[in-house]
C-alpha cells in the first residue's frame, strides 16, 4: 500500500534536516598565488623593502579604476617561526591519503596541525578531525589556487608538550584519533619531509574592502634553515575573508574573483608571480624529489 504523501514528505524533511545538520560551514575562503622567490632575496632589511614594494604595486592595482576597492594598512612582519612537515619516507602515506601533518614552533611553543584536503567538499567535511589535547581548534575552509582551482580543507591544531615525540605514524594518530580510520601502518617511522626545517616569515596587517567583509592579506616566505642563503624556497601572497556562518555575499565573492584574476593578469603585479603552480605544501614535498619515491 502506498504511504500517504504527508508521511513521505515528513520523512524527507527529517532526512534533509539531519543531513544539513551534519554539514560543516566554510568559515573562510583564501585565494593564493605563488610568487617568484628571486624577487625577495636579500637580508632582513632588503626583504622588508621588497615586501613593501610588492604591496605598493598591489595597492595601486586594487585602488585603480578596474577594481576600485579601498585598502588599509601595509604588509609588516607579524610572525617568525619554525615549520616542519612529517610523513613516511619513500611512501608518503599521509600525503597520499589526503592529509598534511605539520609542526610549528613559535618562541619555544610547539603546535601540531593535521589537515585533510579534497576537491570534494563533502568528503573533506565528513572527516573526523577531533584532537586530544586541551584547547584544540578546528576550521573548515576553501583554498583557491591560481588560476582558479578550489580545494576544501578541514584542519585541527593543538599544542603539544616539549617532550612529545613525533617519530612514528602512531604519534599523529594518537593526537588525532580519526586518522585511525585510514588504516595506516602505525608502526612506520615518520621523518621531516625533504629533511626540511623551515624558517617562516609572515607579513600581514594589510586589507582590502570587499563590501560586507574585508579581505586580509598575508605574504609568506619560507627558508631552508640549514642552508645559508638569502633566497626563500617558497613565497606566497594570499588574501582571505571569514564568516563562521558562511555568510559570503554575492558582492564579496564577485569582487574577490575580480581581484584574484587581476593579480594574475595585471602586468605590474603579475611580474612578481612565479609560473610554478605548486602550493607551498607541494613545493615542500617536491623539494627532495626522492622523499616520496
Domain assignment present for residue 7? The answer is no
Domain assignment present for residue 19? The answer is no
Cα(129)–Cα(67) distance, rounded to whole angstroms? 38
Domain assignment present for residue 144? The answer is yes
In Å, how far are 3, 22, 116, 270 from 10, measured between CA atoms?
Answer: 11, 19, 35, 54
Q: How much is the pLDDT for 277?
A: 67
Alpha helices in 155-290 (DSSP H): 170-175, 250-265, 267-270, 280-285
Query: With a cut of 50, which residues of the chain have pLDDT below it?
Result: 1, 3, 5-22
Cα(55)–Cα(237) distance, rounded to whole angstroms? 10
**CATH number, domain at 197?**
2.40.320.10
CB count, 10 Å around CB of 223? 20
**Sign of torsion over alpha carbons 171, 142, 123, 133:** positive
Domain assignment present for residue 17? The answer is no
Q: How much is the pLDDT for 11?
A: 44
Domain assignment present for residue 142? The answer is yes
The helix (H) or strand (E) run that includes residue 85 is strand 71-87
Q: How much is the pLDDT for 121?
A: 96
pLDDT in tens, 33-63: 999 999 999 999 999 999 999 999 999 999 9
User: Locate cell 568559515: which residue?
Assistant: 27
Q: Are 69 and 255 in contact (CB under 8 A)?
A: yes
Domain assignment present for residue 10? The answer is no
Helical pair 250-265 and 44-63, crossing angle rounded to 10 deg:
120
CB count, 10 Å around CB of 265? 12
Q: How many domains does the chain have?
A: 1
Phi, psi of 175 (to 5 degrees): -85, -30
Cα(155)–Cα(173) distance, rounded to whole angstroms? 14
Determine the distance from the C-alpha atom of residue 290 to the mean position of all C-alpha atoms in its chain, rounded to a whole number: 24
Q: How much is the pLDDT for 287?
A: 93
Range of the domain at 251: 28-285
Domain assignment present for residue 15? The answer is no
Cα(79)–Cα(262) distance, rounded to whole angstroms? 27
Domain assignment present for residue 167? The answer is yes
Q: How much is the pLDDT for 26?
A: 97
Q: Are 111 and 157 in contact (CB under 8 A)?
A: yes
Cα(156)–Cα(105) distance, rounded to whole angstroms? 16
Amino acid at each position: 500500500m502506498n504511504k500517504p504523501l504527508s508521511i513521505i514528505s515528513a520523512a524527507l524533511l527529517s532526512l534533509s534536516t539531519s543531513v544539513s545538520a551534519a554539514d560543516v560551514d566554510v568559515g573562510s575562503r583564501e585565494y593564493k598565488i605563488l610568487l617568484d622567490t628571486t624577487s625577495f632575496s636579500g637580508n632582513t632589511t632588503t626583504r622588508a623593502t621588497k615586501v613593501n614594494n610588492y604591496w605598493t604595486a598591489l595597492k595601486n592595482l586594487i585602488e585603480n579604476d578596474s577594481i576600485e576597492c579601498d585598502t588599509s594598512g601595509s604588509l609588516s612582519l607579524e610572525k617568525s617561526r619554525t615549520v616542519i612537515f612529517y610523513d613516511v619516507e619513500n611512501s608518503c602515506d599521509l600525503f597520499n591519503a589526503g592529509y598534511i601533518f605539520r609542526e610549528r614552533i613559535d618562541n619555544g611553543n610547539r603546535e601540531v596541525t593535521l589537515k585533510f584536503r579534497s576537491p570534494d567538499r563533502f568528503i573533506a567535511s565528513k572527516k573526523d578531525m577531533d584532537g586530544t589535547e586541551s584547547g584544540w581548534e578546528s576550521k573548515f575552509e576553501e583554498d583557491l589556487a591560481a588560476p582558479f582551482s578550489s580545494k576544501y580543507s578541514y584542519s585541527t591544531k593543538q599544542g603539544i608538550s616539549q617532550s612529545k615525540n613525533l617519530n612514528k605514524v602512531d604519534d599523529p594518530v594518537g593526537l588525532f584519533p580519526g586518522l585511525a580510520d585510514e588504516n595506516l601502518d602505525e608502526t612506520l617511522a615518520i621523518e621531516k619531509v625533504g629533511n626540511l626545517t623551515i624558517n617562516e616569515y609572515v607579513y600581514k596587517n594589510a586589507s582590502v574592502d570587499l563590501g560586507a567583509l574585508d579581505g586580509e592579506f598575508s605574504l609568506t616566505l619560507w627558508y631552508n634553515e640549514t642552508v645559508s642563503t638569502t633566497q626563500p624556497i617558497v613565497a606566497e601572497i594570499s588574501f582571505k575573508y571569514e564568516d563562521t556562518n558562511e555568510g559570503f555575499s554575492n558582492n564579496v565573492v564577485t569582487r574577490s574573483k575580480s581581484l584574484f584574476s587581476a593579480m594574475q593578469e595585471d602586468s605590474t603585479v603579475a611580474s612578481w608571480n612565479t609560473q610554478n603552480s605548486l602550493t607551498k605544501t607541494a613545493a615542500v614535498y617536491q623539494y627532495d624529489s626522492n622523499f616520496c619515491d
